Amino acid sequence: MRTLLFTGPGGAGTTTLAAAAAVRAARDGRRVVLVTRQEVPAGTADDGVEVVRAEAQSASEALWAARAADLAAALPDLGLPPATSVVPLPGAGELAVLAALGRVGAGTDLVVVDAGPLGAGAGLVALPGALRWWLDQAFPTRVRVLAAVRTAAVRSGTVRRGAVDLVLSAVPELEALLDRLTLTDPAATAVWLTGRPRPSAVAALRTAATALAVHGQQPVGVLARRSPGGGPGDWAAARAAEEEAALAALADVAPVHEVAEAAVEPAGADALAVLLPDLPEPGPAPTVPAPERVEGGWRLTLPLPFAGREGVRLTRWEDDLVVTAAGTRRSLRLDALLRRCVVTSGELADPGTAAARLQVGFAADPQQWPADLLAAAAQDPARTTEPRETAARGTGSRDRGTE
């Protein structure tokens, strides 16, 4: 099952283009589910597209209704509001979309996600990783062991079931949901950016490309909705020149596919089907960044297209490399080799360009590498040597990094 995710600046017609992609795929004989938070154009479901509205309010009410009885039993002295009085938390809309994606049936061929504006789209891609990070912080291994002991005691009747047990029981469900999501996997989810070819859109889509790259994603294409023209000669010529310049700039973000602006809003499956050009199948997914051997250690390169030096931060926390750019942050788990190294440098190469990349230098941590392996690495710098497992992590694994 593949996923197409559409996002763009407000007014770019993201919902309409997502619906058009869903209709075209359904007409090709595929079973398609369109997940959206918006009203879709009339006729979207005419060719068998299953439209799923992810609404924050209804999702919050459903979650509360499913848990309220157990919570009331665990906390009998606490007055709980009915589901119809629950106020959704900020960000509940993105959580509702994730929940809807997790419920998509196994027989579905294609899921089309109308992720809405760029901020919401980038936030949706980042959300699974953020939830996993918080689960790891709240429930590290030692806590999970204690939780398993408590769960066994509750089942045996030794300990009375309480509110903490409700939280513990929800963790496996959330992890199972996250396991089913593929938003950060370019091999399974293709991201399409939408926008009008204007200078403001170029800047916004470049920032979105940076934010997506932080989380391991990249746009496969830009759907540019051009104006229909018309108007006084000088005005039309100036507008056309501006659009041509913007299209050339957008080509650095991803391959551009022009979409003509319709005179009226498309209504019906036929109007939606002809709205989009034939979109190419996504190419091969980018390779997962891997450390390369350099003189004195290793280097890990992370693509960050269009990032500027002033907006990039890099820190090291235990076994994670924490990267911040374009207003978003990712905690990237290092592989077994780099966990036993210290960060020695961090440099943003070619800042502000499509080729911008964060290059992070590592060197072997003497506290975690046996002396014979350190000597072998020094004698043969071209050799990639991975240390044996050691019993102690060493203090060198915590808070080693640059900002």
| pLDDT given for residue 379 in this prediction | 58
Confirm whether 285 is domain-assigned.
no
pLDDT exceeds cutoff 50 at 393: no
Confirm whether 250 is domain-assigned.
yes
Average pLDDT, the chain: 86
Same domain (yes/no): 26, 140: yes
> Which backbone phi and psi does 400 adopt, to 5 degrees?
-100, 115
Same domain (yes/no): 351, 240: no
| pLDDT given for residue 387 in this prediction | 43
Domain termination site, one of 273, 300, 323: 273
| pLDDT given for residue 402 in this prediction | 37
In which band, very low, low, confident or very high, does the pLDDT at 257 lie, cut at 50, 70 and 90?
Answer: very high
**CA pair distance 342, 61, nearest whole angstrom:** 47
Same domain (yes/no): 311, 346: yes
Domain termination site, one of 217, 246, 273: 273
Confirm whether 77 is domain-assigned.
yes
pLDDT exceeds cutoff 50 at 203: yes
Same domain (yes/no): 207, 111: yes
Same domain (yes/no): 267, 335: no
pLDDT exceeds cutoff 50 at 295: yes
Same domain (yes/no): 103, 182: yes
**CA pair distance 264, 393, nearest whole angstrom:** 64
Same domain (yes/no): 133, 97: yes
Same domain (yes/no): 262, 130: yes
The residue segments making up the domain with residue 348 are 292-397
Same domain (yes/no): 210, 125: yes
Query: Which one, of 340, 328, 270, 306, lies nearest residue 133 by Cα?
Result: 328
| pLDDT given for residue 229 in this prediction | 67
Same domain (yes/no): 324, 181: no
Q: What is the pLDDT of residues 122-178, one digit of tens each?
A: 999 999 999 999 999 988 888 878 878 877 887 887 877 776 777 777 888 889 999
| pLDDT given for residue 392 in this prediction | 33
| pLDDT given for residue 300 in this prediction | 96
pTM over 0.95: no
In which band, very low, low, confident or very high, does the pLDDT at 204 lie, cut at 50, 70 and 90?
Answer: very high
Confirm whether 283 is domain-assigned.
no
Could you tell me which residue, 377 or 123, shows the higher pLDDT?
Answer: 123
Count of domains in the chain?
A: 2
- CATH number of the domain at 233, please: 3.40.50.300
Two tokens, residue 236: 């039309």
| pLDDT given for residue 394 in this prediction | 34
pLDDT exceeds cutoff 90 at 16: yes
Using an 8 Å Cβ cutoff, are 212 and 122 in contact? yes
- CATH number of the domain at 391, please: 2.60.40.790
Could you tell me which residue, 3 or 91, shows the higher pLDDT?
Answer: 3
Confirm whether 365 is domain-assigned.
yes
Strand 256-260, strand 219-226: pairing: parallel
Same domain (yes/no): 163, 58: yes
| pLDDT given for residue 380 in this prediction | 57
Same domain (yes/no): 301, 255: no
